Amino acid sequence: MLYPGKENFNLSVRKSSEVNAFMGHHPHLFILDGTWPCARKMLKLSKNLQSLKRVSFDNEIKSKFIIKQQPESLCLSTIESVFTVLNLLKEGDVEHCDTKDFLMPFEKMIAHQLDYLRNPNNKNYRSTADNEIAAKNLYKKTERNTIFEVEH
């Protein structure tokens, strides 16, 4: 199961042979898809999920998902995490898929959401036409905040 944690099998620092040994001949990876609070709750309430071996990775990039609040700056969306894991499994010679355009639908969704916010016919329109929408650098421990700020 892909879930962050210090005691997990960290794909970022393991050799190819270690990744292959851990994942086995027919690897399956269970992904919790939901908000961070929802994923934590699913894990907390499910003995079956708790019994799964866990994998994680070291992240060094900021999420492109600037519309939604993340608990911390290096937390990724589910699709960004899956993209990262697939690439790490490719490096470990466990996976052989092409991830070149994997994030394209995600990136197009974000562009569509930003266009919606910039549309003057939208109730959430930001009237300052010269301003850019950018990811915040500060992350708050609040629920369901829209995460963008206007650069001046």
pLDDT, one tens digit per residue, over 25-61 is 888 999 999 888 899 999 999 999 999 999 999 988 8
The pLDDT assigned to 152 comes to: 39
pLDDT (tens digit, 9 = 90+) per residue, 81-132? 999 999 999 998 899 999 999 999 999 999 988 888 778 787 766 665 445 5
Q: What is the pLDDT of residue 114?
A: 85
pLDDT of 126: 64
Domain ranges, ordered by start, for the chain: 9-62+75-91, 104-151
Predicted confidence at residue 151, as pLDDT, reads 44
**72 confidence band (pLDDT: 50, 70, 90):** confident
| pLDDT for the residue numbered 113 | 86
pLDDT of residue 122: 76
For position 142, what pLDDT does the model report? Answer: 45
Q: How far apart are CA 122 and CA 114, in angstroms?
A: 11
Total-model pTM = 0.76
